Amino acid sequence: MIEFENVGFSYGKAAILEDANLAIAPGSFHFLVGPSGAGKTTFLRLCYLDLVPTTGHVRFFGRRISARDRDAIADLRRAVGVVHQDCQFIDHLPLIENIALPLQVSGVEMRERADDLTALLEWVDLTDRIDALPSELSGGERQRAAVARAVILSPEMILADEPTGNIDWDMSMRLLTLLVELNRMGKTVLIATHDLNLIRAAKARVQARVLRLSEGRILPAGADL
pLDDT at 12: 83
User: Going edge to edge, which strands form the sheet with 29-33?
Assistant: 80-83, 157-161, 188-192, 29-33, 209-214, 217-220
pLDDT at 222: 60
pLDDT at 1: 87
CB neighbours of residue 137 within 10 Å: 19
Query: What residue ranges of the chain have pLDDT lower than 50?
Result: 223-224
| 195 closest CA partner among 170, 225, 157, 158 | 225
pLDDT at 37: 84
Specify whether the CB–CB gap between 121 and 99 falls below 8 A: yes
Q: Which domains does the chain have, with CATH numbers?
A: 22-220 (3.40.50.300)
Q: CA 150, 192, 102 angle in degrees (round to 5)?
A: 15
Taking CA atoms, 80 is separated from 19, 112, 149, 177, 203, in Å, by: 24, 21, 12, 19, 23
